[in-house]
Structure 1
Amino acid sequence: MFRNWSAPGLQVWGVQLPGRENRIMEDPFQQMQPLVDILIAELQPYLHEPYLIYGHSMGALVAYHVCLQLQQRGLPLPEHLWVSGCAAPLHFRQEAWHLLSDQDFIGRILSLGGTPPEVFEEPLLRPLVLKLLRADFQLVETAPAVTGKLGCPIGAVAGIQDPHATPADMQHWQDCTTEDFAEDFELLTVQGDHFLVRTHSQHLLQHMRARLKGVLSL
């Protein structure tokens, strides 16, 4: 998804999780903390330079937990955390999609859009995709409830046509940052659905880069 993201003066590093693309045969993460620990270990060599973190959907919640752990460990936080496609943790609606029957679970997935129905009709692909998606939802739905506030600015992106993370839902990310940075919160709305990260990639990247200009002197 992030392979073609690029902007002058920025290095874009996409996280390739187990169970996806060339790692499709690896077991996906089902719990938040083991994933956060590995991501922080991978990030540590680069924390001495200014950086931002962007997470979409499940990635937004993962990014928030990564930043909380960085803060708790006394490690440098990003200059900006950007999130999209996920309601704020303090206002998260706990559901249990990962416990649904295959038929009901597939129906919920298709309601999000972005996943071709043919994926679930292919006998060899169906079990791999179901295993991955159930793991993703289990990770999100069983993540520890936290109320921590981050000592860094947060920006949120909302697709106007996204029923699962509405602009009102995304506005609540302002509550996840400390008072020192609450005024720096920004909500960017775009004409898009839950998969706005595919349709507005360059717009999002250019906007985030513009917000970093003062820090990186680009």
Structure 2
Amino acid sequence: MYLGRTTPLIKHAPGAAPPRHQLVCFPYAGGGASFYRPWRDELPPDIDLLAVQYPGREERIDDPLIDDMGELAELLAAELAPLLDLPFTFFGHSMGAAVGYEITRRWAESGFPVPDRLIVSSQFAPPRIHAGDLLRHDDEGVLDELVRLGGVPGSVRESPELVQLIVSVVRNDYQVLDSCRFGADAPALDLPVTAFCGADDPAVTPRDIREWAAFTRAGFTERIFDGGHFYPRERLSETVAAVSELLARPAR
């Protein structure tokens, strides 16, 4: 086992072999780094796993939440930059795809090294990234949407305190999405982009993810999995195998 690189916002899960590549994973709205913990057992031993922990959740629950994409991306980029000393790939699920794109865009514009590939999962292409009408819902409406997407079980309603905590974090994260101002002039990236999606996702469809093809000048691919919005949880081994296959491809 190699020395960990865990920081307050980055959870490092090294493999059992000398690392050849780093995989940086960004969670969904309301989610935390633990979403990616099971990936360690499925990834090749020479892949370094770095899971991002947004402030205000899990063991960082006492940290102030950040509701602005620019501020969140700046914070995470500063935390990640010193840790990336190998070829690396970004994977972002749902809101995490928007965060991964924004950090990549910023680094490309500043001349900082960018990922070998951006893998976006269950998220619209940049001009359509938004919070929808969720921010106008009351707490019960927000919870209904989370249950519909499969983010939480319906049984969570039995704990009002837990509902309040979940809803407050999700509202914050949708405010992050609402703060995105990519617009129609969002830049295409000079690196490959791969888009993943669940075939039965009620929010982001396979047709939607194909719009990411316009935001790369280095090749676009897609992969559709059985399952819904949280197909990475439902199809864990299949999802990580698809990511591992992409990591095995030669760097740009």
TM-score, normalised via structure 1 length: 0.90
* Alignment CA distance shift 1:136-1:94 (3 Å): closer
Q: Secondary structure at the match of 1:12?
A: strand
CA RMSD, aligned part only?
Answer: 1.7
Give the distance between the partners of 1:142 and 1:99, measured in 2 at CA. Answer: 15
Segments of 4+ moved more than 3 angstroms: 91-94
Query: What's the counterpart of residue 89 of structure 2?
Result: 52
TM-score, normalised via structure 2 length: 0.78
Post-superposition offset of 1:149: 1.0
Q: Letter of the aligned partner of 2:223 in structure 1?
A: L
- Which stretches in structure 2 are left out of the alignment for 5+ residues? 1-34
Query: What's the counterpart of residue 210 of structure 2?
Result: 171
Residue correspondences, number: 212
Give the distance between the partners of 2:130 and 2:76, measured in 1 at CA. Answer: 25
- Which stretches in structure 1 are left out of the alignment for 5+ residues? none
Query: What's the counterpart of residue 35 of structure 1?
Result: 72
* Alignment CA distance shift 1:18-1:119 (3 Å): farther
Q: Per-residue displacement from partner, 1:119-143 (whole Å, max 9, x unpaired)?
A: 2331322221111010011111221
Q: Per-residue displacement from partner, 1:7-26 (whole Å, max 9, x unpaired)?
A: 22101111111232222233
Q: Per-residue displacement from partner, 1:44-90 (whole Å, max 9, x unpaired)?
A: 12344200000001101111111111111111110010011111113
Answer yes or no: is the 8 Å Cα contact 1:91–1:172 preserved in 2: no
Query: What's the counterpart of residue 201 of structure 1?
Result: 236
Q: Secondary structure at the match of 2:90?
A: strand
Stretch moving more, 126-135 or 113-122: 113-122
Give the distance between the partners of 1:197 and 1:21, measured in 2 at CA. Answer: 20
Q: Secondary structure at the match of 1:54?
A: strand
Percent of matched pairs sharing the same residue? 31
**Of Structure 1 and Structure 2, which has the larger fraction of its residues in helix?**
1
- Match among 83, 104, 123 for residue 160 of structure 2: 123
Q: Secondary structure at the match of 2:52?
A: coil
Answer yes or no: is the 8 Å Cα contact 1:96–1:141 preserved in 2: no
- Match among 178, 183, 187 for residue 148 of structure 1: 187
Give the distance between the partners of 2:121 and 2:233, measured in 1 at CA. Answer: 12
Post-superposition offset of 1:93: 5.7
Q: Per-residue displacement from partner, 1:69-121 (whole Å, max 9, x unpaired)?
A: 11111111100100111111134466231232222222222221231123233
Give the distance between the partners of 1:26 and 1:157, measured in 2 at CA. Answer: 31
**Of Structure 1 and Structure 2, which has the larger fraction of its residues in strand?**
2
